[in-house]
Amino acid sequence: MDISINNRMGTKRKYGISISISVFIVGFLSYLIYVKTPVIDESLLPVFTVRSGELNVFIPVHGLFKSAQETLLTAKASGVVTEILIKPGSPVKKGDVIARLENPELIKTAAQHKIEFLEQQSSVSALKLKHEQQQLDLESQLLAIDAAIAQSKLDVNIHGRLQKLGVSSKIELEKAQLKLTLQSKNKELHLKKIQHATALHEFEVAQSELQLDQKRLTLTQTQLEVNSLEIKAEQDGDLQNLQLEVGLNIDKGEAIAKIGSRNRLVATLNLPAHKVNDIALDAEVKINLNGKLITTKIKRIESLITQSSVIAETYELHEQIINDQQLRPTQAFSAKVYSDTLKDQVFVARESGLQPHSHQPVYKKVGDKFLTQNVSSSQMTDSAVLINQGLKPGDIVVVKFPKNLSYLRNRDVFKIKSQQNKEIKI
């Protein structure tokens, strides 16, 4: 009977000791967690310094690279597609044959026009030879008239002398003078005839050469159409699209392909329609491409709104940048466009984690401690969050903790071991 009582008393004593130890441990842990101030190595904290000054506001946008020079190819002759030599997306050089058309009727017409041109060319040559012969005949007749006039002058002179000697009569002299007068008038008429014939010849040749020029133009145009049965690239670049299929019938003037420059690019930007009025021409553009920054400026802004966006285009990018970054048309990117400069602002780096347009607690460094501080923020730029109240320039703060220090979120204060500040600059 005594043994049982002793066992029960021993068991109660053990329970009491266990409870006491548990209470002690809980109390000690509570002291560590809620009473004792943690001490943290400052180098482990993501600290940021509050700053003041000007802030450039940039608007985030998306865009595509686009060929600075684009050529729309249209069919210069009708025909049926018989061969496609270059596929869309392939690089081309000026003069490369992209596709071939077939048009037997056009080739036949070109041959007929060539025959007509050659015939007219022969006709012009024959007409010129004919006129030259007629001109020679008239010149020969003029020489004969001049010879007759010279003879008549000689006769007048002889009869004049003979009359003085009394050998020839006055009538003979007058006949000789009349003959000279008639021959002189005949020469005047013949000269007019030559002048008229020359003018007529020039007119006939001009008319004939005009017809020749018309036939030459017709032949040239037809020959160009024949040559255009081979569709060729009109510039160096990439064949961006090709609206052709073998066997397809193409009409003259129909759009068939587009070629864009490869080494001459611009950036097209989709600007938010409600922000367009804040963006000016020559505004700075920062293009982020796989972590690399390309800086340029806006050259033009369209007025048409499409799906709540307005298209803007930058100046042509430098060829070295295009080659170094291996840029290509239709390549997508994200960018930032300058819109305004805010003066006399208090701010902290965007990477700090401070939320814009909010009221939230942060930890501000005071001596060797970080104390909670309520902060009111306003807008966020591409690099910073603006502060309305709660902090001043030079304050060092912690906004977010890494996972291994997440327990500090429930503390109002904690101490630091080191005075070395780790700052992430804007």
> Residue written as tokens 């904690």?
414
> Residues 97, 186: one domain?
no
> pLDDT (tens digit, 0 to 9) for every residue of the chain, 426 residues total?
444 444 445 555 555 566 666 655 545 545 444 456 788 888 889 999 999 999 998 999 999 999 999 999 999 999 999 999 999 989 999 999 999 999 999 999 999 999 999 999 999 999 899 888 988 988 888 898 888 888 888 888 887 777 777 766 778 878 878 888 898 898 899 899 989 988 988 898 899 999 999 999 999 999 999 999 999 999 999 999 999 999 999 999 999 999 999 889 999 999 999 989 999 999 999 998 888 899 999 999 998 888 889 999 999 999 888 888 889 898 999 999 999 999 999 999 989 989 999 999 999 999 999 999 999 999 888 889 999 999 999 999 999 998 888 888 888 899 988 654 444 444
CA 70 from centroid of its chain's CA atoms: 7
> Residues 250, 186: one domain?
no
Residue 234 CB partners (closer than 8 Å, separation 6+): 71, 73, 94, 259
Query: Final residue of a domain: which of 280, 314, 340?
Result: 340
> Residues 282, 271: one domain?
yes
Q: Which domain holds residue 320?
A: 59-67+261-340
Which residue type, as a one-letter code, is found at position 30?
Answer: S
In a domain, 44, yes or no: no
Cα 49 to Cα 398: distance, rounded to the nearest angstrom: 9
> Residues 286, 318: one domain?
yes
Residue 247 CB partners (closer than 8 Å, separation 6+): 80, 81
Cβ proximity of 44 and 414 under 8 Å: no
In a domain, 150, yes or no: yes
Q: DSSP for 273-332?
A: GGGGGG--TT-EEEEEETTEEEEEEEEEEEEEEETTEEEEEEPPPPHHHHHHHT--TT-E
Query: Final residue of a domain: which of 340, 365, 382?
Result: 340
For residue 7 the two structure tokens come to 């066992």
Cβ proximity of 110 and 225 under 8 Å: yes
> Residues 240, 309: one domain?
no
Cβ proximity of 257 and 98 under 8 Å: yes
Q: Any idea what the CATH number is for the domain that residue 63 is in? A: 2.40.30.170
Give the global pTM: 0.60
Q: Please give the backbone phi and psi of residue 191, each rounded to the nearest 5 degrees, phi first.
A: -65, -40
The count of domains in the chain is: 3
Q: Any idea what the CATH number is for the domain that residue 246 is in? A: 2.40.50.100
> Residues 249, 275: one domain?
no
| CA contacts within 13 A on the Cβ side of 129 | 6
